[in-house]
Copies of this chain bind each other. A is one copy, B any other.
């Protein structure tokens, strides 16, 4: 039995609320159980300097946690002088994942920044950030199309993400904080709506894991991401 009494292949309750930030071109509040992430999309009329004149745009992401999103208060990164290695790793992952479904030429010389701010953290903040970040991005594109800034959407497919782990020898889907702390193996998967793999990150926390275990986690992820993509579609319907 999982600590949350969920079945091994069961997601936490997921909700996606659009249009929560008055000033952003796109936004949503996504909840994976007790993990809550506010995602906003901000449009800039110019791409980063290294893309000027290429006809291509850019999608990037930033990630942070409020200091008391967690059980113990964590120090603000503005106070410690720089984003931690973990923060940088996550925001690079979110940016890469979103760019995998965007046609940057079709976007044109613009930049969209997706900010993922974790209001409350109970495990899985990076996968919620990718899944919710996609909605904020999509809303931003809709906003641009309504204003005739784009005639064809540069978004090629959905993208979503979920974590899996080996907990007490069993492969399980969508770990919360308690499960994540105990799991021997922790893996994050990012896939498109069509089922293509965008990113795989698997880490043995204790003993190494086997290929069979890895394939079990991959199958769970495929199921979970399918459900998340359905929820994304409902959210914007």
Q: CB within 8 Å of B: which residues of A?
A: 21-24, 27, 34, 38, 40, 42, 44, 62, 64, 66-71, 73, 76-83, 85, 87-89, 91-92, 96, 100, 113, 115, 117, 119-120, 122, 187, 191-192, 194, 196-204, 207-211, 214, 218
Contacts and interface: CB of A to CB of B under 8 A. Distances in A.
A44 to B, nearest CB: 8
Given A113-B73, A120-B21, A196-B208, A66 B38 contact: yes
A119 B29 CA distance: 12
A81 to B, nearest CB: 6
10 contacts: A23-B68, A23-B120, A40-B66, A73-B113, A88-B88, A100-B204, A196-B207, A196-B210, A198-B208, A201-B201
Contacts of A214: 197, 200
Main SS class of interface, A: mixed
Nearest to A74: B42
Nearest to A40: B68
Contacts of A113: 67, 73
A198 B71 CA distance: 29
A168 to B, nearest CB: 18
B78 A64 contact: yes
Given A113-B73, A211-B218, A200 B202 contact: yes
A150 to B, nearest CB: 19
A32 to B, nearest CB: 14
A210 B198 CA distance: 9
A62 B80 CA distance: 13
Contacts of A208: 100, 191-192, 194, 196-198
A119 B200 contact: no
In the complex, which of the residues A62, A197, A199 has the most CB atoms of chain B within 10 Å of its own CB atom?
A197
In the complex, which of the residues A85, A87, A122, A209 has the most CB atoms of chain B within 10 Å of its own CB atom?
A85
A203 B199 contact: yes
B197 A202 contact: yes
A185 to B, nearest CB: 8
In the complex, which of the residues A21, A66, A83, A187 has the most CB atoms of chain B within 10 Å of its own CB atom?
A66
